[in-house]
Chain A
Amino acid sequence: DAGVTQSPTHLIKTRGQQVTLRCSPKSGHDTVSWYQQALGQGPQFIFQYYEEEERQRGNFPDRFSGHQFPNYSSELNVNALLLGDSALYLCASTLLGDYGYTFGSGTRLTVV
């Protein structure tokens, strides 16, 4: 039973560019959340998707947007990249109403 799959694992982008990160949730899960983790910090909640709608959003600018597809997979898009966007981006899935989260291995984004 596959867990949460994220792609790519590493990515290097230039300031001002746009990036798309992808996440496939664990089989049976319908809710996907995204987190940003800066070096040496705890993960910070970006947003959560359920039934292709954004249910909740953390304190992140509109440059961060997302999407969920009918098969529950999700994308995180970041526009106009800043150096400060360099971080590990984690995707977590669960079944709505359950609190058992499964995390992917993350995408390491470096903005230069």
Chain B
Amino acid sequence: SQQGEEDPQALSIQEGENATMNCSYKTSINNLQWYRQNSGRGLVHLILIRSNEREKHSGRLRVTLDTSKKSSSLLITASRAADTASYFCATVLYNQGGKLIFGQGTELSVKP
């Protein structure tokens, strides 16, 4: 079963707008990661946030983590058409050897 659930399942915005995707999970984690996937191809690692961190930034990406609510959000600022892709959160559980448990993903469409 999936550990994480993303919300919304699909998001359509205009270029220049911000995009926010949310991820909820069920059990305690070691870390949470966000990945991007273009057109059903390979996954690209975007950012990793550890369980003792609350916020991380990478370029136009901002990730937050609330372990008390078991949730994370990914914010993409000033979106571009090239950001159109599916975004997945993946959790790594303690004592689980590092395997990634993915959610169902959010499909983001950025219109020029």
Contacts and interface: CB of A to CB of B under 8 A. Distances in A.
B85 interface: no
A28 interface: no
A92 B44 CA distance: 11
A108 B41 CA distance: 9
Contact of A42 (B31, B48, B103): B103
Given A99-B31, A99-B92, A43 B99 contact: no
B100 interface: yes
Interface string B32-68: 0101000011111100100000000000000000000
Nearest to B9: A40
B98 A44 contact: no
Interface string A70-112: 0000000000000000001010101011011111111010000
Given A43-B102, A94-B98, A103-B42, 17 more contacts: A37-B40, A40-B104, A42-B2, A42-B105, A44-B102, A45-B101, A56-B97, A56-B99, A90-B43, A92-B100, A96-B98, A97-B98, A99-B30, A100-B45, A103-B44, A103-B45, A106-B40
Interface of B: 2, 4, 30-31, 33, 35, 40-45, 48, 88, 90, 92, 96-105
